[in-house]
Structure 1
Amino acid sequence: MKGFKIKLLKLLSLFVLWSQTLLAQEFNLSNYLKKGEKDATLSVFTMLQDAAKHKNSKVIIEKGTYHFYPEKAYEQYCFVTNHDNSMRRIAFNIKNFDGLTIEANDAKFIFHGVMMPFNIENSKNIDISGFTIDWHLPLHGEGIIEATDTANKTFDLRLADNMPYTIRNEQLIFIKEGFEHDLNHAILFDPKRKAVAYQTNKYTPLKMINQVEIRNKEKFDFYNYIDFRIPEYESQNQEYSIKAKEIAHGLVRISGSELPPPPVGMVLVCKGQFGKDRIANAFHINKSSQVKLHNLTIHYAGGMGILGERSEDITLEGINILANPSKNLMVSTTADAAHFAGCKGNIVINNCNFRHQLDDAVNIHGAYVIVEDILAPDKIGVRIGHFQQAGFQFADLGDTIGFIINEKLADVEFKATVKSCFQLNQHYYIITLNEAVTQKLGKGFIVENLDWYPEVSITNCQFADNRARGLLLKSPKKTIIKNNYFSNMMQALLISGGINNWWYESGGAQDLLIEGNTIGDCNYDGEKRPVISIGGKWENNGRMLGKIVINNNTFNNFNPSIIKATGVRQLEITNNSITNSKTFPALEPDAFVFDIKGVETLTTQNTKISNGFKNKLKTEAVKNTFSDIK
């Protein structure tokens, strides 16, 4: 009996210890915040430090409004692809976690100045939900066109009190908390539609800069390649041409634009110079796996909303990224809503609503790097193609990479496996291979990581009212786009397989289904584009896209150009309905609904096309056609 009691006591002790351990894994922010404390930044940092000591920790954030300021935030230098690299002040630094749940009860997070709310790095099994992200003051500028003078090419801009500003050297400067910008990258929004204005390209962007001569520039010694788009080079031979003068408090007259003055009542939106305008993304998911974000709202970010790079298995469920309606702002994020570069596994986006971005709703791609040097038979030096991809982890041990001739842009010439990838600096990497490649290499080669592409599922979402495109799709893995709504300033879907020598984004769709979507007005900025743009390369045995099926979709567009496709092996356009919305005057009334070129097998059947669109189908260099369009 005595022995039994001893055993029972031991079991009870173990149970108590086990229970305490379980309790220690749950952390409530209310236990870390001091009474009356407005700045939650340091308390969140301390709480996450404690949570990091345990596997599968859970953080509870009670309902309320929490402010975050940069002065007491964790700081680290961040390479954030397709952004401007910098020292980031981070509110939620989720680094080296093995299991973490953050559960908020309808909490509101308000950020001040230049901050990155969430950094998820070298972590796995992360589940985050239940809050709203917004900024106290936005990091872009907005103003209403109050009056115009066509003869003198001036317009008066009314600035609200949430837009601090100054006039400096005849320039309108928007002043933020620790940040400022000018009128660069301006675009018009229609406040009634809360979307980019029809034919904004007649009036914007404002021509801000004149080129000036650099004297004695022959003395420069640029021995290596220089990307002159980098801000410190780009601004060297520039001077401002736009002038600003304050007429009254909150009213500024703008002169010097070469374009006509914008219409009265439109909202002019701007975010400053390229290379200095993507500094405060909301989420950075880097070198992580099994990350789920759900039931969140992002009203604002000074960059992208959600960015994933070199990560696996990311799910976005019930995410709203849209401007805060209570603030009467036009913009949600100053770049893409969601962006995935060099990811693999599964990217799942379901039941999301992405609106009011100053760039694309979703972009999924890899990255090309450029062969700069042959250092040894098995060793090459490569450079990043775009300065805003600096520091991007292109490859690692065991990755299979493919070598492609840039100008030829055919399929991969040959492959190799990576032994190591050493980042000498953020622009130049040394890659050691398991195979000798020097005999195969020549001038003009670029390199693609063939392993890091995801399968993609995007369903039941809304992508609308943003500056650029709906979806950019470059993954060669199985991709499903189903039951979504689109209405975008540019194309609803851009499916390219070529090399964009600006961004050097890699990939090309090989197995893509676009089904059951409703697509409203697109391409209303004034440029002539199709609603769906598909661009492989078919000349000279170029790199073609694979199988693309566009089935059972409803198009209601003011312009007849619906699908333009080149360089596809198998293209099926079936069971679609196409009507004329008549929302705006057609930009190209004689365009063909389907303009197909360089396709091996084309099927266009059972598609109803509005009588208002007179030219239905145009084909060139199509080997096999199965069509009932007359």
Structure 2
Amino acid sequence: MKIRLFLAKLIMFFACSYSTTAASPVETQIFDLQAAINEAIKEKERVLELPEGRLLVEPIEISEASHLTIRGENTELVFTSYTNSLIKVTRSSHVTLEGFTIDCNPLPFTQGVVTSISEDHRTLEYKVLDGYPELDDTIKPGRHGVFVYDPKTLFWRSNVPDLYLESSEVLSPKKGKFRISTPNLPGYQNIEIGDYLAFKHFIGAGIGVHDSERIDLKDLTVYTCPGAGMIYRRGVGAPHITNCTIKPGPPPQGAIVPRLLSTTADGFNIAYTRQGPIMEDCDFSYMGDDAINLHGTIVNVGFKESETVYWTSSKFWPEYSISLQAGDIAQFMQRDSYQILAEVPIKSAKRETPPESVDFSIRKQLGLDDDQKLYCVRIELEDPVEAQAGDHLGFPSVASPDFVFRSNYFHDHRARGLRIGASHGLIENNTFERIKQTGISLGPHAIHHEGNWVQDITVRGNTFKNIGFDDRVFESGSYQGGAIVVQHFLPNKNVEYSQGNRNITIENNTIWNTGAAGILAISADELIIRSNLIGQTQQLNTKGVGSRMRLQCNGAISLNHCTNVVLEDNRFGPFGPFCKNEVVRNP
């Protein structure tokens, strides 16, 4: 290891002029991080201390490590290439990443300024801002979405929804043109020449953890990465995430406009794990999506072999099945309403190639051709269940349950603060500010086959300010019209709502200045809302919000299709201009 460090310092003279940012140059060296990690694992070292300064590194993998801390006080890891996760952790246990900063050069996103707008406001031309990556014909700019920013505040334009593209054209390395795919959103008319743009693009994560136990993050800073800050999959043992920061890094060399994004997707995305995170004292901002996405999956029942044997079916690899164990609960849900039909223990769950007759039946149901990918899991149950092909299955045991979010600060980013599709959790003493849609959403996200019905969650002592002014919150198909949302997505008007979100307590929170409701609850049973301070809600017109979903969102507390609700000692400040009442019940 000493030889490698010596060689790295020898070439430092050639690298010291390299700088990823416009800030003053710091000591920069090319560093073989992978070799250093491999040696630490081989020698069973307990701590690997990284050199100080800016280290130019390639993506690395930490595999089969145990009881290892990788520490980098005053260390910035600048990844100079990326095709997947920057730091990949596999088949490891009790690994701690501590103290260092993660950045990329080149950046995994670019920024531009609108230079022309067509009469129908669907075709825009733009110029890349100085210092930001030039356009590349091999990657469609904006293929994962485009964000629009106010050039004065450098924040997302709240009256302009995220843009998804019908086409994208590179006119030159510095100029481009795109056409928006959806013509019917009124917010597109609010785009102005001179608005700034950021082009969302993701191919991996900053830190990708798979098939590991107790991987902890402490005192880390993430400036950017090509996707989520952290993806955690198929883990056991609660990851501890302490005093970590996600924020935009300094502007690149030659740039005048600051970075508009930190991560290009979620802050942290955790799924198919047997225990959720314990996250404390973190500060996340300017992400291209949710701060936290905690979930499992909802899959289709593809075939009923018997009342104790069912096949699940999906066009996507069923990674949830790796985490399933005998005794885990299978939650069967009715195909249209998602009403819970039964919750029974699993005897076994195996990925298998189905018999030809089963394969034919599933493909017919899904409309798949013979050459299209089909993934199936054969699930044997301890007890019989009366369900049918086309119904749904969830697995709460591997949906990252038993989580804690305490004393964190989530602010200045799009989408949601906490998107929770897991049960048995505590969310307390956090602050949520200037978030485009929802501060906290609890419940299934069926439209993306994520999450499950949730139960046994306490939301306590949190503060919400300036939440939910995004244009999409106010659509007829929206179910995100609140600072705190207990959610269910049910677009089918011919079925009744069921109450699958259970035993939720929302208490001692302060909610102030929201675009829509303070609290929006949908499909909840045994819901307690008490001792909250709620004011200045419905600052924007909520008439019609969620109407396609048969929802009403015009009360400071809006209750939709809920049963057994307890309201106690809530205090209300001045109403916003479109708030009808303290509490609105529907029905």
Separation of aligned partners in 2, 1:483 and 1:398: 36
Matched positions, count: 518
Is 1:182 aligned with 2:141?
yes
How far the C-alpha of 1:279 sits from its partner, in A, is 1.0
Task: Report the 3-state secondary structure (helix = DSSP H, G, I; strand = E; otherwise coil) of the residue aligned with 2:540.
Answer: coil
Residue number in structure 2 paired with 1:143:
112
Separation of aligned partners in 2, 1:608 and 1:540: 32
CA contact (8 A) 1:397 1:421 kept: no
Residue number in structure 2 paired with 1:43:
32
1:508–1:255: structure 2 CA closer, same or farther, 3 Å change rule? closer
How far the C-alpha of 1:350 sits from its partner, in A, is 0.9
Residue number in structure 1 paired with 2:546:
none
CA contact (8 A) 2:277 2:404 kept: yes
CA contact (8 A) 2:205 2:227 kept: yes
Separation of aligned partners in 2, 1:321 and 1:250: 28
1:253–1:472: structure 2 CA closer, same or farther, 3 Å change rule? closer
Residue 559 (structure 2) aligned to one of 586, 596, 619 = 596
Separation of aligned partners in 2, 1:134 and 1:619: 47
How far the C-alpha of 1:516 sits from its partner, in A, is 2.0
Residue number in structure 1 paired with 2:358:
none
Residue number in structure 2 paired with 1:102:
70
Residue number in structure 2 paired with 1:58:
47
TM-score after normalising by structure 1: 0.74
Separation of aligned partners in 1, 2:380 and 2:180: 55
1:602–1:485: structure 2 CA closer, same or farther, 3 Å change rule? same
How far the C-alpha of 1:357 sits from its partner, in A, is 1.2
How far the C-alpha of 1:112 sits from its partner, in A, is 2.2
Gaps of 5+ in 2: 16-27, 253-257, 354-371, 475-480, 544-552
1:408–1:554: structure 2 CA closer, same or farther, 3 Å change rule? closer
CA contact (8 A) 1:27 1:60 kept: no
TM-score after normalising by structure 2: 0.79
Residue number in structure 2 paired with 1:341:
271
Is 1:573 aligned with 2:529?
yes
Residue number in structure 1 paired with 2:460:
515
How far the C-alpha of 1:525 sits from its partner, in A, is 1.9
Task: Report the 3-state secondary structure (helix = DSSP H, G, I; strand = E; otherwise coil) of the residue aligned with 2:228.
Answer: coil
Cα-to-partner distance string for 1:94-124 (whole Å, 9 max, x where unaligned): 1112211101122111112324221111211
Separation of aligned partners in 1, 2:575 and 2:586: 27
CA contact (8 A) 2:33 2:57 kept: no
CA contact (8 A) 2:482 2:514 kept: no
Is 1:123 aligned with 2:92?
yes
> What amino acid sits opposite 1:181 in the alignment?
K
- Share of identical aligned residues, percent? 17
CA contact (8 A) 2:517 2:537 kept: no
Separation of aligned partners in 2, 1:595 and 1:50: 58
1:160–1:152: structure 2 CA closer, same or farther, 3 Å change rule? closer
Cα-to-partner distance string for 1:138-162 (whole Å, 9 max, x where unaligned): 2223102245565897655231243
Separation of aligned partners in 2, 1:36 and 1:96: 31
Separation of aligned partners in 2, 1:157 and 1:564: 38
Is 1:607 aligned with 2:566?
no
State the structure with more CA Rg. 1
Residue number in structure 2 paired with 1:219:
none
Residue number in structure 1 paired with 2:369:
none
Separation of aligned partners in 2, 1:544 and 1:103: 44
How far the C-alpha of 1:268 sits from its partner, in A, is 1.3
CA contact (8 A) 1:244 1:255 kept: no
Task: Report the 3-state secondary structure (helix = DSSP H, G, I; strand = E; otherwise coil) of the residue aligned with 2:416.
Answer: coil
> What amino acid sits opposite 1:285 in the alignment?
V
Residue 617 (structure 1) aligned to one of 567, 582, 587 = 582
Residue number in structure 2 paired with 1:495:
442
- Describe how 1:374-385 pairs up with structure 2 within 5 A: 374=304, 380-384=310-314
Residue 291 (structure 1) aligned to one of 180, 205, 215 = 215
CA contact (8 A) 2:510 2:532 kept: yes
How far the C-alpha of 1:369 sits from its partner, in A, is 2.3
CA contact (8 A) 1:133 1:297 kept: yes
> What amino acid sits opposite 1:602 in the alignment?
V
How far the C-alpha of 1:537 sits from its partner, in A, is 8.8
How far the C-alpha of 1:191 sits from its partner, in A, is 4.1
Separation of aligned partners in 2, 1:256 and 1:117: 31
Separation of aligned partners in 1, 2:4 and 2:276: 32
Residue number in structure 1 paired with 2:389:
443
Residue 326 (structure 2) aligned to one of 394, 398, 402 = 398
CA contact (8 A) 1:56 1:98 kept: no
Residue 483 (structure 2) aligned to one of 531, 545, 568 = 531
Residue number in structure 2 paired with 1:205:
163
Cα-to-partner distance string for 1:553-605 (whole Å, 9 max, x where unaligned): 222215352111122223333333333399xx624389321111323122142
Shifted more, 528-537 versus 315-324: the winner is 528-537
CA contact (8 A) 1:526 1:587 kept: no
Gaps of 5+ in 1: 1-25, 70-89, 166-173, 210-239, 272-276, 623-630
